[in-house]
Amino acid sequence: MSQPKASGFTKQMARNMFYGGSVFFILVFIALIFDSEHKIPQRSNAQALTAQVVRGKHLWETRNCIGCHTLLGEGAYFAPELGNVYKRRGPEFIKAWIALQPIQIPGRRRMPQFNFTPEQLDDITEFLHWTSNINNGNWPPNIEG
């Protein structure tokens, strides 16, 4: 007497779905990597890198600006987003604001005084200018960050 064949989901079907799905999503992931790698040079603004921008980024990192500010969405949220501050406020405002710190405004955290030289102020401002020209997909969604 033969056994009736069970209908439903078998181990072999589950294994085939697992391997087929894994291969499919690995291929999708690889395609997304290649697409991103293709678009990065067009969006990065790397052609505009100068020694002044590099020095400004060094100041950004060594003064731990990201400990309070965000830059293109990365960093802390205690202080404003600075990815577009150059376009919002302009270079002279940035330099004056940094030089005036710390400002005593009730209810606000105080930004430290870094005692930047005029050249360092130019460097950090140029870094923020360079950052504002990165094609960031309209980030932040709000112009004020």
Q: What is the mean pLDDT of each run of 10 residues along the chain (145 residues)?
A: 69 95 98 94 89 97 94 88 91 94 81 94 97 85 73
Distances (CA, A) of 19 to 8, 11, 15, 143: 19, 12, 6, 46
CATH superfamily assigned to domain 47-132: Cytochrome c-like domain (1.10.760.10)
Say if residue 79 is exposed, middle or buried (CB neighbours under 10 Å; 0-12, 13-18, 19+).
middle
pTM, two decimals, is 0.75
